[in-house]
Amino acid sequence: MDEPELKQVIIIRKDLDMGTGKLVAQGAHASLMSYLETVKSHKDVAERWISEGEKKIVLKIDDEEKMKRLAEAFKYKAIPCALVSDAGLTQLPRGTMTALGIGPWKAKDLDILTGALKLL
């Protein structure tokens, strides 16, 4: 029997008007932080995802509260995720939520909660 497809979802806030470099950096933070959460709780999933090429999808969201609710929903389902809070050193005030990393995890489980979001 085939293993379920794995992927990581990175969600970036587009309402913040971040510069391109800042946006990429926040997405990288989300990816790494979420991956490390997966390693802690499901090392086998993390290792398989790495061995299969680290599939990622990047989506956009326009509201901090929506992003927080998504994070809460994934945590409720025990799916590894990580919210990124900006350090406040450049473009944004300290503590601004900029991105959410989810997984790696089973793609079908991620799609249930993120399927309505658009690609970045």
> For the whole model, what pTM was predicted?
0.94
Cis amide linkage into residue 80, ω under 30° from 0: no
Domain residue ranges in the chain: 6-119
pLDDT digits (tens), the chain, 120 positions: 578 999 999 999 999 989 999 999 999 999 999 999 999 999 999 999 999 999 999 999 999 999 999 999 999 999 999 999 998 888 898 999 999 999 999 999 999 999 999 999
CATH number of 6-119: 3.40.1490.10
